[in-house]
Amino acid sequence: MSQTLDLAKIHPGFLDPVRESQAVFRKVMDAVARPGSVADLAFAVDGPPGLDCAAAAVALTLFDFETPVWLDPALAGGEAEGWIRFHAGCPLTPETSRAAFALVARAQDCPPLSAFNQGDAKYPDRSTTVIVQVAGLEGGEPVVLTGPGIKTETVIAPRGLPHGFWEQLETNNAQFQYGVDVMLVAGPLLLALPRSTRAQIRKG
SS3 (DSSP) at 165: helix
Query: What is the chain's percent helix, strand, coil content, to nearest 5?
Result: 30, 20, 50
Task: Please state the closest distance from residue 83 (CB atom) to other proteins, in A.
Answer: 10
d(CA 34, CA 68): 26
Please identify, using beta-carbon distances, which residue of 8 and 121 lies nearer to other proteins.
8
SS3 (DSSP) at 55: helix
Per CB under 8 A, the segment of 2-10, 101-109, 166-174, 180-188 that binds other proteins is 2-10
**Residue 5 contacts residue 86 (beta carbons within 8 Å):** yes
Task: Please state the closest distance from residue 87 (CB atom) to other proteins, in A.
Answer: 7
Please identify, using beta-carbon distances, which residue of 64 and 167 lies nearer to other proteins.
64
Per CB under 8 A, the segment of 6-14, 54-62, 119-127, 175-183 that binds other proteins is 6-14
Question: How far from 75 is each of 14, 44, 47, 108, CA to CA, in Å?
Answer: 20, 20, 13, 14
Site string for other proteins, 56-85 (x = CB under 8 A): -----------------------------x
Residues that bind other proteins (CB under 8 A): 2-5, 7-8, 10, 12-13, 15-17, 85-87, 89
